[in-house]
Copies of this chain bind each other. A is one copy, B any other.
Amino acid sequence: MIVELINTGSELMLGRVLNTHQQWLCRRLADLGHVVTRQVAVADSGRDIQQAVREALGRADLVVTTGGLGPTSDDLTRELIAQLLGRKLVPSPEVLAHIEAFFAQRGRPRPASTAAETLIPEGAKFFLNQYGTAPGLALRVNPDGTKWLVMLPGPPRELRPMFDDAVVPWLGREFPAETFVCRTLRSTGIGESRVQEMIEAGVQPFVQAGLQVGYCARPGAVDVRLAAGGAPAARLVQAGAAVVQEILRGHIFGFDDDEMEAVVVRLLTRRKRTLALAESCTGGNIAHRLTNVPGASVVFLGGAVSYANSAKETLLGVRAESLRQHGAVSEAVAREMAAGARARFGSDFALAVTGIAGPAGGTMEKPVGTVFIALASAGGVTVEQRLNPWDRVTFKDVTGTQALELLRRKLVG
């Protein structure tokens, strides 16, 4: 079965908004066993929309469109598709009643512009909109009934519940899917090419049996994605994952949507340990990421962003002599920052980072990207030196991930 997705919207083509529908729908459909083979975005123009739909229907068994079902002048999808397929638009009493109830509940008169939303292509199935007015629509395209076109409204808060509540059950009846299993192993500390070199031979037997292996490089991390379809899917993915985990061992920090900061908060919570931070060059990146995780306040006591040298002295008790003798970017200062943060916050662990984010500030001896990462615990302070010669924002992300990884390794022993 072939599934294609079409996203309509001029704002997409002008690059004014991010197309979150693609990821959301592709993810949902893949999890249901229907991997989307092609996604297309076009502007709100009759010619572009009709051409994209016509081509997709030529290839696919199921075409899903998003957007263009609303009441404004640039909402064209319903009419264009009815025209393309030679269907009349007919009034739906059920849809009209639903839209009238929607406005009655809000104590507002129904705007005249919603009239277009009460029309549906002849013979179409509709999905009522629980969070808006425009219904979703499903059309059997050919007489023998194997080809369908599904139209969904553009706003995510309308589309997502409609898909989960109405489209998923319908899909299950109309297109019973074969099993599809996908698992991502998230690694850190090794580059993308090295990851592939390490695991290639090990996964080879599973690849021959139908396992798909993909790689995705992220700042400071490499994702290995294992996927398979059909009856042996679960077994294949599980066996492949076991081999990859064995080979990459300590480098695997999480699975699927796990972020490093969430993994660290989880480990600290389980072990009832607390953390403090002393950030210089990462400038709050680590604190910001940790506090994005709900429940972080239980284990994260706080941090000092000590950009200026004086802040390193005042807030963290770094000695002026160490700063003079070794410079702010040095093993000695990283060590004192970590120890200082642990003492000031009274935490079990403290991470400290000092380095040169660039673009300016590098020297021959300490080029841009040089960074010292220290971890203080009851057993003392360990310091690692790294070189992360990336742009400023990536430097902060990669360095933050390395610091959290240092703590993660300590926590998992």
Contacts and interface: CB of A to CB of B under 8 A. Distances in A.
A305 B306 contact: no
Contacts of A42: 37-39
Given A302-B304, A390-B131, A225 B16 contact: yes
Interface string A201-218: 000000000001111110
Given A15-B26, A19-B19, A23-B19, A301 B291 contact: no
Secondary structure dominating the interface of A: mixed
B307 A301 contact: yes
A219 interface: yes
A24 interface: yes
A197 B25 CA distance: 32
Interface stretch (A81-89, A239-247, A309-317): A309-317
A104 interface: no
A33 B27 CA distance: 33
A30 interface: yes
A285 B154 CA distance: 24
Contact of A392 (B276, B294, B305): B294
B52 A43 contact: no
B306 A302 contact: yes
A234 interface: no
A284 B291 contact: yes
Nearest to A394: B157
A310 B346 CA distance: 9
A37 B23 contact: no
Interface string A1-35: 00000000111111111111011111111100001
Nearest to A47: B37
A283 B35 CA distance: 37
A303 interface: yes
A133 to B, nearest CB: 9
A27 B15 CA distance: 4
B15 A38 contact: no
20 contacts: A14-B26, A15-B29, A18-B22, A19-B23, A39-B42, A44-B214, A55-B55, A72-B192, A107-B387, A111-B194, A131-B391, A157-B391, A283-B296, A287-B287, A288-B396, A291-B307, A296-B307, A301-B311, A302-B304, A308-B345
Interface of A: 9-20, 22-30, 35-44, 48, 52, 55, 70-74, 105-107, 111-114, 131, 154-155, 157, 161, 182, 184, 191-194, 196-197, 200, 212-217, 219, 223, 225, 227, 276-277, 279, 282-288, 290-292, 294, 296-297, 300-308, 310-311, 314-315, 344-346, 357, 359-360, 387, 389-394, 396
